[in-house]
Every structure is written in C-alpha cells, then in structure tokens.
Amino acid sequence: QVTLRESGPALVKPTQTLTLTCTFSGFSLSTSGMCVSWVRQPPGKALEWLALIDWDDDKYYSTSLKTRLTISKDTSKNQVVLTMTNMDPVDTATYYCARSGIYGVTRGAFDIWGQGTMVTVSS
Amino acid sequence: AIRMTQSPSSFSASTGDRVTITCRASQGISSYLAWYQQKPGKAPKLLIYAASTLQSGVPSRFSGSGSGTDFTLTISCLQSEDFATYYCQQYYSYPPGLTFGGGTKVEIK
C-alpha cells in the first residue's frame, strides 16, 4: 500500500523559514520514473503546485516561488523535504505531498496524496 | 505558463442529474489532462488521467473527454457522495509545467 504523510509546524511567524517533511511508504524514490511533488491550497482556494523532485534528483519549482523554495530527498529514509523561506500570511495553506511518475500516459497525474498539513503564518 | 480555466465555478444539482464540468487550457495540451475530486477537509483524489482514462476503482459514472484546449468531466448520474469540488490539471509541459484549474464546486440543490 502506497502512503504519504506530511509533517511540520502548524504555525510559523512571518519572515521565518518553513520546513515540511513528506514521509512515504510503498514505493521507492530511487525507482526510475518516480517523482514526489508538493502542492498547497489556501483556505477556500484552488490547488497550486510548488515543487517536484524525481528519482534522478532533478528538481523543478514553480516559477513564481522558485526563489523561496528548496526541495530535497533522503532516499534511505523515504523522505522528501520542502523548505520555503520568508514566510508571509498569504502562504497560509494546507500543504500536500503527492506522487507522480514521469513515463507513460499517467506521467504527470498525482495518483496518491498525503492527507495534508495545515500551516498558518501569523505573528 | 499554461492557464486552466474551469466553468462554472459552482452550481447546484440533484441526485440523479447528469452534470458536465468544462476545463479550457490557454494553449493546446494534447490529452495531458487529469481530473480530481476533493471533499472538504480531504486530499484530492485522482479520477481521470490522459483526459479520458478512468483511474482504477473510480465508478464508471465518471467520464472525461476532450483534447487540445477543451475538456469535459461528466458524471452521468449524480450520487450523494459526488457532491464535492472538482479540479482539472494539465501536465503537458511536465516536468515542470503543472497547473490546476480554479475548481468547480458541485452542491446539492
């Protein structure tokens, strides 16, 4: 069974750096074609893709946020970490990690999602 | 960046209705489109990928169609458990190009 679970602080102050961890099981991020992304959703708003890391350690970022984001992986721990610097109240959102592949017709679709973690940015 | 526009943003329907949601891409994306269902407080669930392929375990009342710039998600006979928000997502220029539509909320009439 494939599962992903996000963890991190529920509350951060403006200007602080947010660090979120996605711990997964049931698949390996060293398997060719495997990818993990971070997606966020402000309260009552739409989904926004943030960053992706693939099995080959290639990293991709949202154009609008790339200067603030860093994604990394620890294959031995089955974890993907996202850091976001200079947090602002507009970054208040539920943050999800999700799995996708890079091959075939499903390649960009997120077939498995974590349950999400709510992050509030407030002083 | 490719923009995805969904319509309508919300509507009311009754159990048993046939409903259609539209998603339009700002440029051609072939069939690189997915649809998700999201219920309050829950993560999105993949319904359809490659514009028309049903994800395993998804009821056959859901169907998708379209290619290029115009896509539709149809629920043939709305059930109580289908009241939710639906999102389209393109993955034409992936990676990294991944964008979601603004969502369509299906409410009970």
pLDDT digits (tens, 9 = 90+) for B8-58: 999 999 999 999 999 999 999 999 999 999 999 999 999 999 999 999 999
**Main-chain phi, psi angles of A53, to 5 degrees:** -130, 140
pLDDT classification of A15: cutoffs 50, 70, 90: very high
Report CA Rg, chain A. 14
Answer with the residue of higher pLDDT: A58 or A102.
Answer: A58
pLDDT at B95 over 80: no
Of B32, B99, B101, the CB nearest to A49: B99
Give per-residue pLDDT as tens, A59-97: 999 999 999 999 999 999 999 999 999 999 999 999 999
Q: What is the least distance, in Å, from the CA of B17 to any CA of chain A?
A: 25
Work out the average pLDDT over A88-111.
92
Do residue A60 and residue B96 have CB atoms under 8 angstroms apart? yes
Q: Which of A7, A43, A3, A38 is nearest to A117 (CA)?
A: A7
Residues from chain A contacting residue B55 (CB–CB below 8 Å): 111
Whether residue B96 has pLDDT greater than 80: no
> DSSP state, A16?
P
CA atoms of A56 and B108, how far apart (whole Å): 46
For residue A15, give the nearest of A107, A109, A123 by alpha carbon.
A123
- Minimal CA separation from A61 to chain B, in Å: 7
Is the pLDDT at A102 greater than 90? The verdict is: no
